[in-house]
Structures are given as structure tokens and as C-alpha cells.
Amino acid sequence: LDSIPARRWINGLLCSMVQVDAEGQVDLSTVIPLIDGGTEGLKGHIRVILPGVTACFECSIEAFAPRERYPICTVAETPRLPEHCIEWARVFRWPAFFPEIGFDGDNPEHVKWIYEVARKRAETFSIQGVTLMLTKGVVKNILPAIAATNAIVAAACCNEVVKVATNCLPYLSNYMMFNAAEGFYSLTFEHERNPECFVCQGAPVR
């Protein structure tokens, strides 16, 4: 799953499949584990979610950083970063040139047009660093993937799958994050269920 909306959808689906018995306890035979991993540059996380038993994805949705926003006055008047030039091309120039056509970040021609306009604006303000790759990242809010980070997260997710499937070892309870931006830092902790979570609140909180 490559986006937060997709993760929220599958989380909601799995939570909706959980059944409770006459005493209001979760029927564990109806619980389908969700093992989630994600990376953001040199940062990564792994989590094991047991719908109705542990905190679900929605219980900690506020932990995810919102899309980066750039001050509109800076973008319009005094750009200092290549990202400012790209946002200016997307927010101001695209609607002016193509008022009837919505910008599509998945259309290579659209992205190339934004790149060319942003590059010219960057030259005007003596800003370096506007590239086609950066343009794609800004307009689609994509952070560069780092193979080592992806490998660490994938391996940790595989370990959790084996533990859950075979019960050979205790599985993660229920969140691990790491940061390799400066050295290597790792932390494991347990997200608590949110008793007011609109997704998993139908199952009992223990």
C-alpha cells in the first residue's frame, strides 16, 4: 500500500470484519493481522495491527506529518528554494495558461511543463537545483526512496509475518521506528487504542 488513504481503507475493511461474542469479547478467529511498513528517506516504521485487539491505523493517524506547505507570499514574491519555483509554476502559471485543464501529476507532459516554467523562474532569481526529478517529487509530494531503508523495513515486516503466521516468537507490540539520518536510532513502543476511534471503537478496549 503506497499511500495513507489506501492504508486507511484496508484498516477499515479489516476492522469491519472483526466479530465479538455474546460477552463482547473479540472473536480472535475473525482477526486478520495487518503488518504495515513505510519509509521516508532515511526514516522508517513497522507496525503490527490486530484489528479490535491493538491500536488500529486510524488510532494514530495524527502521527503522520501533513503534506509540506510553502508560504504563498514567498512562493509568489520572494522564492528562495527550488521548491518555491516549482510550486509557483503549479499554483500560479498552470491555471493561467490552462484554465480549463486541471493539473495531473501523473501526466509526464504536465510535469515537464511545470519543470520548464520552474527552471526559468529559478534562473531569474539565481536559484539552483530545479530538476525534473525534484519537480515530480514536489508536485506529487514524493520523498526519495533509499534502497537500504526499504530493505530494512521489508526485512522487519517479513520477520513479523513469520512470527504472526507461525507463533514461533512474540510479535511486535506494536510499533517500531528508526532513523538513520544521523547514525542509527531505533525505538519500539506500543500505540494505545483510542477509545473514541471511529474505525475500531466497535470492538472492546482492553
* Residues noted as catalytic: 73
Residue 100: burial class (beta carbons within 10 Å; 0-12, 13-18, 19+): exposed
* Nearest in space to 121 (alpha carbons), one of 159, 74, 167: 74
Q: Indicate the DSSP class of residue 41.
A: T
Q: Are 18 and 52 spatial neighbours (Cβ–Cβ below 8 Å)?
A: yes
> Which stretches of the chain are assigned E, i.e. beta strand?
34-40, 43-49, 175-179, 185-189
Residue 110 parent element (H or E):
helix 108-124
- Half-sphere exposure (CA, 13 Å, Cβ side) for 59? 24
Q: Within a 10 A sphere around the Cβ of 70, how many other Cβ atoms?
A: 16
